[in-house]
Amino acid sequence: MTDDLSPIERAKCVAARRSCDFVESGMRVGLGSGSTAEWMVRRLGERVRDEGLDFVGVPTSNRTAKLAREVGIRVSTLDEVKWLDITIDGADEFDGAFNLIKGGGGAALHEKIVATASDRMVVIADAAKDVKALGAFPLPVEIIPFGWETTRALVEELLGDMDVLGREAELRMRGEEPFVSDEGNYFLDLRLHRIGNPRQLSLMLNQIPGVVENGLFIGICDTVVVGFGNGKVEVRKLDAGTAGEAAPEGGAVRNIFADSGE
């Protein structure tokens, strides 16, 4: 199936398909957004059709919800299911502590709400997303449209006191108009190059009036499924090294909201 894919798409595909092994009938599953998550949703749809897998999916974006329904997944909302067994989602970057940058596709707010309402979060990514320090990928910050230029100025002022290498906050555009999230908000993409203290930066950004949420996921993910261009897959668990093709296991998620200190 993956023979006709580019190495990067093959890596995404094999990681996404492997992550679906974590899903069992009866589960409530958060369904992430983005190109890698789309592979996961399609594979889960195959399992629903071919194996009779019966679970409820909670999508993190309108696009994911549409695809999930198309492939036969039973879709609900977080308000209806209250809590999730697992969330599977992609990432723009992840480091050795499984801190993440997410939101390149514009769904970080929904993704973070769903992930923190889950017993565990599994991230699926190609090997290029594995970094020593976060920050090469622009950090998304969702802001309300009202007074957005003032919000940007406050964000850039804050960055002057943070352990980062860059301080540019650029409004995300779609053509001639600002990019708008599913919640009707704008995005600032922060070009930081390196983030020395992701937890501190996340907490400080969210103190700024006008900021809704940022794309740093700290202490939320406990498992990363990494795909490679040659079709190899690694399952990495926090504090447990690399599990290769080992079967999925349970595990509690360390949540940023359980420990707000630096």
Q: Which residues are catalytic?
A: 111
The number of residues in the chain equals 262
Tokens standing for 11? 């890596």
CA distances from 238 to 154, 162, 182, 207 (A): 35, 27, 31, 29
CA distances from 15 to 125, 127, 144 (A): 6, 10, 34
Is there a contact between 139 and 167 (Cβ–Cβ < 8 Å)?
no
Q: Where are any strands of DSSP class E within 15-138?
A: 28-31, 56-59, 74-75, 86-90, 93-94, 100-101, 121-126
Q: Identify which of 22, 64, 65 has the alpha carbon closest to the alpha carbon of residue 47.
A: 22
Would you call 28 helix, strand, or coil by DSSP?
strand
In sequence order, what are the residues at sequence separation of 6 or more whose Cβ sits closer than 8 angstroms to the Cβ of residue 3?
A: none
Q: Where are any strands of DSSP class E within 144-219?
A: 168-171, 173-174, 177-178, 186-191, 211-214, 216-217
Decide the pairing of beta strands 223-227 and 233-237.
antiparallel
